[in-house]
Amino acid sequence: MDAPSMIIAPSILAADFARLADAARAVEGEADWLHVDVMDNHFVPNLTIGLPVVRSLRAATPIPFDVHLMIEDPERWAPGYAEAGAYNVTFHAEATDDPAALAKTLRAAGSKAGLAIDRDTDVTPYLELLPHFDTLLIMTIKAGFGGQKFLPGTLDKVRAARRHIDAGHLEVRLEVDGGIAADTIEAAAEAGADAFVAGTAVYGADDPAEAIRRLRALGSVRS
């Protein structure tokens, strides 16, 4: 099966935490991945969900999980998410000294490996590591909370990463996360993103499935 030209990954951070299985089902057939934001109250001030929730939710939906770890010490915790059946596990460049080694561990544990770059981090030093990764996530806000305003200045990093990926013919998804909505997805797609996380824009909508269809149409500028 060919890889889809673009990925829409609704973030359950914006869903009702008492009804996570319902939130997953509401986007089945429309979402490519389900984005799961794991925050530890150390790497970021917020605290969300962890491995037991991911394990339970994994059994409740067939949608591939895109786990975004905003945690310290990802070497200790990230492999557990791969073993729990996550499709992709992304950890932050700022949280580890040896991203390539952890990517290798994740792939060996059965998931794709993703590297996340927060708002204030330059992507340049990490571009040479991309052959170790399946996903590069560029934060388009400061990591930590949903519902923030999209920062257009972060798209310079998306453009640089897109040039590097295309020049090297790398098989890397270029994902953006933060403030992605009907009025911002087109700019992110034009900059070169091909995977889009959307929390508020999907779960804040009356009809999450319809919101995804709309985002997909607006973001389809590259295909």
Rule CB under 6 A: which residues touch ligand DX5?
Answer: 11, 13-14, 35, 37, 68, 141, 143-148, 177-180, 197-201
Burial of residue 124 (number of CB atoms within 10 Å: 0-12, 13-18, 19+): exposed
Q: Which does 144 bind (CB under 5 to 8 A by kind): ligand DX5, Zn ion, none?
A: ligand DX5
Q: How many residues does the chain have?
A: 223
Instruction: State the binding string over 33-52 for Zn ion (x if CB under 5 A, else -).
Output: ----x---------------
Q: Is the dihedral of CA 103, 135, 65, 204 positive or negative?
A: positive
CA 44/CA 139 separation, integer angstroms: 13
Q: Enter the DSSP assignment of 21.
A: H
The angle at the Cα of 62, spanning 56 to 68, to the nearest 5 degrees, equals 65
Q: Which residue is nearest to ligand DX5 (CB)?
A: 199
- What's the closest the beta carbon of residue 133 comes to ligand DX5, in angstroms? 17
Q: Which of 32, 37, 66, 118 is catalytic?
A: 37
- What's the closest the beta carbon of residue 183 comes to Zn ion, in angstroms? 19
Q: Which residue is nearest to Zn ion (CB)?
A: 68
- What's the closest the beta carbon of residue 197 comes to ligand DX5, in angstroms? 5
- 30 contacts Zn ion (rule: CB under 5 A): no
CA 105/CA 84 separation, integer angstroms: 14
CA 142/CA 127 separation, integer angstroms: 20
Q: Which does 146 bind (CB under 5 to 8 A by kind): Zn ion, ligand DX5, none?
A: ligand DX5
37 tagged catalytic: yes
Token pair, residue 146, equals 């949903």
Matching residue, tokens 């975004």:
68
Tell me: is residue 146 an annotated ligand-binding position: yes
Q: Which does 79 bind (CB under 5 to 8 A by kind): Zn ion, ligand DX5, none?
A: none
Task: Please give the positions annotated as active site.
Answer: 37, 177
Residues contributing to the annotated binding site for substrate: 11, 68, 144-147, 177-179, 199-200
